[in-house]
Structure 1
Amino acid sequence: MPATTRTFHDRLQVVLEDHVAEVTLQRADRHNAMDSPMIDALLEAQTWLGEQVGVRAVVLCGDGESFCSGLDVAGIVSSPERVAWLLTSDGTSMNPAQRLALGWRNLSAPVVAALHGHVYGAGLQMALAADIRIIHPDANLALPEIEWGLMADMGITVTSAALRQDVIRDLMLTGRHMSGEEAVILGLASRLDDEPLLAASELAQAIARRSPRAVAAARRLLREAPELSESQRLAREAELQRNLLGGPEQREATRARLEGRPPRF
């Protein structure tokens, strides 16, 4: 697919090339803190990506010294109507603040987050919605909302469901900071890398080379499984596999393996 570049509100750039979308937060002078234009940019980019045909993987990253230092609280709180809008349901089961995180989780393509520098508040909550998180050892993570008399609320009950709840409570109730190295040890991040963006890009490209139907089925299975009984999980697993077996992408994957060439999907 031809390369496409889109900029949203001078706060976010999306480069779509070879089935991989690289989404870069671009407010480096403020460690990519989310002000109103960036919030609008993130929500609009999610919608735009959802409309693009052929996106097979997404890389979520931040320009400059940090991934994202959270909400620009002073700017957001100064506009009471903006706060009310963020916390009001948009006609679905979530409000715009929750969609800032869950919108990435709900994309049809896997999302790989490349984390470095400050990963605070809304930034960390957004990162938790990614399928995979690659993090610099010296990154600094925190959920400091409690210091403002608030709590982390951007869908964190959904994004943290598969994580250790004692670790989430520790972060939410104290606001303490942890390093990227500790985040991997405690299961908040997938793995360490001194160049997380490069590693995330390589991983996304590897995913994009796989059967899109198989990738989608695997994500669907893992997403649905926690809500099912053991027998239902096994039945759903078998159903999804039957839908892949003998299909055009599965046949092409097999041919490519036998012929020693990259598959063409």
Structure 2
Amino acid sequence: MSVADAIRAATVHIAVASDTPRLDAELLMAHALGLSRTDMLLRQRDLDVPAAFTALVERRCAGEPVAHIVGTRDFWTITLAVTPDVLIPRPDSETLIEAAVAHFGGRGPATVLDLGTGSGALLLAALAEWPQATGIGVDASPAALAVAQENAARLGLASRAAFRLGDWAAGVEGPFDLILVNPPYIGTDEPLSGDVLRDPPSALFAGRDGLDDYRRIVPDLQRLIAPGGFAAIEIGHRQTSDVSALLAGQGLKVAVRQDLGQRDRCLAVTRPG
């Protein structure tokens, strides 16, 4: 069987467990071959199907996320190591970086704070985008911080990224030009399916209405956003009004940014005046 035939066959099988079966099959084939997906696709006519591919497909069919199988996930312009200890970075979260780019343009922020850093995705994407910036990533999970530190070192960003164990913004002294926040925002009674079932529960759930962590984070933003600064906060697409009201109650100005699916995904926050 050729590589192309094997990918087509795997796509059919993976479809029972994934909304992106073709992409998953290509990523697994590339991983089995030790190549990038682009190189694999360009060279597939000259390659043999590796013996390890079948086992990788079986793991995906059993519901294991591709990011856990291959150990990495692309995000913005960087590639991150991913483990079951961290939320798998998703394209929707790139909306926060897009909003920051729109706000700062080529000028860029000098200082960045990432609350709930997890794998370090948002902080490290920002530091890669603006080479003059430095930043701090805060997380309540020591295991997640270990992953973030590994990613910073592998990307050559360790000298500009500091990580600390913490409870959101408690004890954090600002201000910062850019604040990035992707908190848990799923209600405890909401049904889940797909890869999100393999994410750490602590990174997903925030009380019955999904707003518990916003209520803890928002009161600190006024003191942490520098003059002319900006905060980008990820939300569930039905939470725009509730979280916007919390922010407005602290005297902050709020605008909404949508993800690629045209769903509300990011609240762009500034200090008036």
Q: TM-score, normalised by structure 2?
A: 0.26
State the TM-score, normalized to the length of structure 1: 0.26
